A and B are shown apart, each in its own frame.
Chain A
Amino acid sequence: TQLLEQSPQFLSIQEGENLTVYCNSSSVFSSLQWYRQEPGEGPVLLVTVVTGGEVKKLKRLTFQFGDARKDSSLHITAAQPGDTGLYLCAGAPLVTTTSGSRLTFGEGTQLTVNP
């Protein structure tokens, strides 16, 4: 069974601070996806990283895929209250079996950015 561990589980910071969220596994994934979920809504895809060592930027968010494709990080620069939400990482299996192609989700990091 593939597992993804996210840390920290909760993070409360002040507006303007920087933060990093980690997503780790002992399994190799073909790609790693990051989602953001707001209360009462479904998760929304932010980015997909595919190549080991890949770095993608989305405005103030920087996503990195580990060289071995087992881990990923999300760094937010100068956080704003609008960044508040549940951040979920999800791994796509390296070799999908005939039984499915589902993602493995981490437990999430609940980020609160205070004004």
Chain B
Amino acid sequence: DSGVTQTPKHLITATGQRVTLRCSPRSGDLSVYWYQQSLDQGLQFLIQYYNGEERAKGNILERFSAQQFPDLHSELNLSSLELGDSALYFCASSVGVPGLSQGTEAFFGQGTRLTVV
């Protein structure tokens, strides 16, 4: 058990809909990362939050947004869903502090498998 909790584990929805994925980081971790993993592909970095603030953006679509709340849990919102958005979405947390190279080890949740039909 990594200590990172993601819900829901599975999600099936129709094209055009909007969904929210939730992540609770490990206790004490201030950094939260979101990744997308499509079939037979590696991890694609989407976005990082540190202590409630957005700190880094990857290849995140404009239809996607995220936020980190004062209690440090994070939500990833996916809207106007397309078939190609079907993937595993992972949340990870670390003690990493922007500006420091230590503590970057990532602890991943079990992921949310999103299927868009």
Contacts and interface: CB of A to CB of B under 8 A. Distances in A.
A45 B96 contact: no
Contacts of A33: 104-106
Which residue, B56, B94, B96, B106, has most C-beta atoms of chain A within 10 A?
B106
Interface string A47-61: 010000000000000
A103 interface: yes
Interface size class of B (residues with CB under 8 A): 20 to 34
B45 A102 contact: yes
Nearest to B90: A42
Contacts of A24: none
A100 B88 CA distance: 23
B110 interface: yes
Contacts of B4: 42
5 contacts: A31-B101, A40-B88, A42-B90, A43-B90, A101-B103
Interface of B: 2, 4, 31, 33, 41-43, 45, 48, 50, 55-56, 58, 88, 90, 92, 94, 96-101, 103-111, 113
Given A99-B56, A101-B101, 5 more contacts: A40-B110, A42-B92, A45-B106, A88-B42, A100-B56
